[in-house]
Amino acid sequence: MSRHRSVRVVAFLAMLSASGLFADVRATEQQLGQMLYLDTNLSLHRNQSCNSCHDIQAVRLQGRSTALPAAGFVDPDNVRDGSAVSKGSIANVSGTLNAPSVGYARFSPAFHWDEGEGLYIGGQFWNGRAATLAEQAMGPPLNPREMAMPSQWAVVSRLRENPVYVAQFRTLYDIDLEAIPANATASSELKPPPGVEEAYARMAQAIAAFEKGRFFNRFTSKYDFVMAGFTEFTEQERAGLELFNNEKSQCSECHPSAPLETPDGGYLPPLFTDFSYDNLGLPRNLNIPGNPEPDPGLGGRSDIAARDPDGQELGKHKVMGLRNIAVTAPYMHNGVLATLADVVHFYNTRDSKPRTCRDTNDAGFGEDCWPVPEVARNVNVEELGDLGLAEEQEQALVAFMHTLTDGYPEWGKDPKVPPGTASPFAGTAFPPAP
């Protein structure tokens, strides 16, 4: 992230704090997590942060001249440019997968095998390799394609440079960062001194605490206000919801629209995911820099492969939630589909059009043909591929999914929901996060 963009982020945060939108992150640990989330100094060349790939600012929808007051918590460069993957701290090095949104990620259960369903459920990342949000936060700083720090010790040495971190780690965790010897170039092969592992884990815990707050989990979409009785869907949006839930589209099979139970006996609106894993038969994206090999998803994990000798999990990626889906382009684990309309069209016609396109750059891509699947094993042929939807039905589904974008009081220009209206679920307790 450029210095200019960093300055804009700081200014934006100051505005939010002044407006009270960050009132729920003023607890000390969440404040610390906010700082860590935005800190580019925790990357090798001091140019990359969590926020670089999961931006907290509003994003601009394709075809709109102004930004929506809603964050998708994805890479804004990808939304703006259609690039599939994010740049890392090292020049000319990028990721190999599309950065997923961390909005509403707190609700994903810890990664586990569900005996009743016979499915792997939950976790973080496209292959669920991090069981919890805190575990997920431990990954990017050490990923050579992301923040590229050489070791936990090196990261903790960077934490040690900041007097605010020194004070807050002492207050919150009884950890004296200054007592840990500094070695900002320490490799992972060196045995770290006492305190490094705990400090690194606490850093991730603080970031997770920030991500569990209301700022990332707002429930301020038009859908939420409709469900609470504040306003109404348009005819097209209502038709899209009906299609979403019926047997023809089968969207709700993997993106259920059932509400969530809460500890206080109430409910939260749905997250539109069952947290499972699926192979959608997506084509390979040859536009990813370096043209990496097809990603095997869940089945590519060594621990899963050891329990799956028949390769039943190959090609499966996590079913992500649909909240704020309209502001998180491009789509899927490899960013192969540019727009939400493309996604719906793929679901509808994957098997009714010939798989004769050579690749995504073929002139007929999506219109006359689709390329072959990236991973041919375990493709879901039961719930998508030949849905028989008319064009207007595809459009209705897209219209409905736009209603899942947060910040509706501001972008909706709805006299029934004036700007500044709080979420109808602002007082509802969240279920415990793993």
* Residue scoring higher pLDDT (264 or 373): 373
Using pLDDT thresholds of 50, 70 and 90, give the confidence band for residue 260: confident
Domain extent, residue 142, equals 3-83+133-216
Give the pLDDT score at 60: 63
Please check whether residues 203 and 272 belong to one and the same domain.
Answer: no
Confidence of residue 63 (pLDDT cuts 50, 70, 90): low
Phi, psi (5° rounding) for residue 290? Answer: 85, -10
Q: Average pLDDT for residues 10-26, to the nearest whole number?
A: 40
Name the residue among 163, 141, 164 with its Cα closest to residue 153.
Answer: 141
Residue 266 has a pLDDT of 85
Predicted confidence at residue 264, as pLDDT, reads: 83
Q: Are residues 208 and 241 located together in one domain of the fold? A: no
How many structural domains is the chain composed of?
2
Let me know if residue 359 belongs to a domain.
yes
Residue 383 has pLDDT above 90, yes or no: yes
Q: Is the per-residue pLDDT at 369 higher than 50?
A: yes
- Same domain? For 75 and 163 the reply is yes
Are the C-beta atoms of residues 35 and 29 closer than 8 Å to each other? Answer: no
Residues 262 and 393 in one domain: yes
User: What pLDDT band is residue 80 in, cutting at 50, 70 and 90?
Assistant: confident
Domain edge (last residue) among 183, 216, 249: 216
The amino acid that residue 280 corresponds to is: L
Backbone angles phi, psi at 30, to 5 degrees: -70, -35
Identity (one letter) of the amino acid at 384?
Answer: L
Q: Are residues 19 and 52 in the same domain?
A: yes
Do both 141 and 237 map to the same domain? no
374, pLDDT greater than 70? yes
Which class for 24: exposed (0-12), middle (13-18), buried (19 or more C-beta within 10 A)? middle
pLDDT in tens, 27-43: 689 999 999 999 999 99
Whether this model's pTM surpasses 0.75: yes
Give a yes or no: residue 237 inside a domain. yes
Residue 21 has pLDDT above 80, yes or no: no
Tens of pLDDT, residues 172-194:
999 999 999 999 999 999 999 99
Predicted local confidence at residue 59, as pLDDT: 75
Pair (68, 191) in one structural domain: yes
* Of 216, 248, 283, the domain-final residue: 216
204 part of a folded domain: yes
Does 279 map to a domain? Answer: yes
SS3 string, the chain, reads CCHHHHHHHHHHHHHHHHHCCCHHHCCHHHHHHHHHHHCHHHCCCCCCCHHHHCCCCCCCCCCCCCCCCCCCCCCHHHHHHCCCCCECCCCCCECCCCCCCCCCHHHCCCCEEECCCCEEECCECCCCCECCHHHHHCCHHHCCCCCCCCCHHHHHHHHHCCHHHHHHHHHHHCCCHHHCCCCCCCCCCCCCCCCHHHHHHHHHHHHHHHHCCHHHCCCCCHHHHHHCCCCCCCHHHHHHHHHHHCCCCCHHHHCCCCCEECCCCCEECCCCCCCCEEECCCECCCCCCCCCCCCCEHHHCHHHHHHCCCCCCCCEEECCCCCCHHHCCCECCCCCECCHHHHHHHHHHCCCCCCCCCCCCCCCECCCECCCECCCCCECCCCCCCCCCCHHHHHHHHHHHHCCCCCHHHHCCECCECCCCCCCCCCCCCCCCC
Strand partners, 151: none
In sequence order, the β-bridge partners of residue 279 are 379
Quick one: pLDDT band at residue 66, thresholds 50, 70, 90? Answer: low
Residue 19 pLDDT greater than 70, yes or no: no
Contact 122, 275 (CB under 8 A): yes
Percent of the chain residues topping a pLDDT of 70:
91
Range 82-106 average pLDDT: 97
pLDDT of residue 226: 98
pLDDT digits (tens, 9 = 90+) for 264-311: 888 999 999 999 999 999 999 999 999 999 999 999 999 999 999 999
Please, what is the angle between helix 163-173 and helix 152-160, to 10°?
A: 110
Kindly state whether residues 266 and 239 are assigned to the same domain: yes
CATH code of the domain in which 402 resides: 1.10.760.10
Q: What is the pLDDT of residue 65?
A: 52
267 found inside a domain: yes
Instruction: Mark whether 230 and 276 lie in a shared domain.
Output: yes
Copy the structure tokens of residue 7.
């300055």
pLDDT value of residue 261: 86
Of residues 248 and 137, the one with the higher pLDDT is 137
Give a yes or no: residue 154 inside a domain.
yes
Shared domain for 399 and 348, answered yes or no, is yes
Band (pLDDT 50/70/90 cuts) for residue 58 is confident
Structure tokens belonging to residue 280: 């959608």
Residue 25 predicted with pLDDT over 70: no
- Could you say which of 173, 200, 216 is where a domain stops? 216
Note whether residue 190 is domain-resident.
yes
pLDDT tens, residue by residue, 220-233: 999 999 999 999 99
Please answer whether residues 104 and 217 qualify as being in contact, where contact means their C-beta atoms are separated by less than 8 angstroms. Answer: yes
What are the Cα distances from residue 226, in Å, to 232, 238, 243, 368? 5, 10, 17, 38
Query: Is the peptide bond prior to 330 cis by the omega test (within 30 degrees of 0)?
Result: yes
Count Cβ atoms within 10 A of the Cβ of residue 141 and give its class: 0-12 exposed, 13-18 middle, 19 or more buried.
buried
Residues 309 and 368 in one domain: yes
Q: What is the pLDDT of residue 110?
A: 96
At residue 69, the pLDDT reads 57
- Tens of pLDDT, residue by residue over 126-165, are 999 999 999 999 999 999 999 999 999 999 999 999 999 9
Average pLDDT, whole number, for the chain? 92
Q: How far is CA 31 from CA 17, 105, 164, in A?
A: 11, 19, 11
Query: Residue 374 domain-assigned?
Result: yes
User: Residues 231, 369: one domain?
Assistant: yes
